[in-house]
Amino acid sequence: MMRAPLAAFGLAVLLAGGCQVGKGVGAASGQIYELGCSGKGDYCAEGVCGTDKNMAPYDLHPTYFAGEPIDDLRNYSSPGTGIMNNRLIVRLQRSGKQIELNDVLTFDVASSYEVARCVRGRIDANGVHDWNEANCYRASDNGPGRLRVQYDGDVHAALTLKATCTANLVASAVSRPVPISYSTTIGAPVDPAQWLSWVEFEEFGSAAQSDRLPAERDPIGPKFRIDFGQRIYATSFQLTLVDDSLVNAAIYDRPRPASQIGGTLGGDPTTGRFDFDLQRGQGAQFFP
pLDDT of residue 83: 85
Paired sense of beta strands 25-34 and 272-277, if any: antiparallel
Question: From residue 58, how far is each of 28, 46, 94, 160, 206 by CA, in Å?
Answer: 9, 9, 12, 12, 34
Q: Write down the pTM of the prediction.
A: 0.88
For residues 103 and 37, is the Cβ–Cβ distance under 8 A? no
For residues 272 and 266, is the Cβ–Cβ distance under 8 A? yes
Helix and strand numbers (H, E) in the chain are 2, 15
pLDDT of residue 286: 53
Q: How far apart are the first and last CA of the chain?
A: 24
For residues 56 and 49, is the Cβ–Cβ distance under 8 A? yes
Three-state SS string across 96-122, please?
A: CCCHHHCEEEEEEECCHHHHHHHHHCC
> Domain-by-domain residue ranges, the chain?
7-277
- DSSP SS3 for 7: helix
Q: Is 40 left (phi over 0), alpha (psi -120 to 50) or beta?
A: alpha
For residues 278 and 261, is the Cβ–Cβ distance under 8 A? no
How many CB atoms neighbour CB 241 within 10 A? 26
Q: What is the pLDDT along the chain (288 residues), one digit of tens a residue?
A: 434 444 333 333 333 334 578 999 999 999 999 999 998 899 999 999 999 999 999 999 999 999 999 998 765 566 667 888 899 999 999 999 999 999 999 999 999 999 999 999 999 999 999 999 999 999 999 999 999 999 888 999 999 999 999 999 999 999 988 876 655 665 555 689 999 999 999 999 999 999 999 999 999 999 999 999 999 999 999 999 999 999 999 888 889 899 999 999 999 999 999 999 999 865 555 543
For residues 44 and 38, is the Cβ–Cβ distance under 8 A? no
Nearest partner of 33 among 271, 262, 239, judged by Cα? 262
pLDDT of residue 191: 86
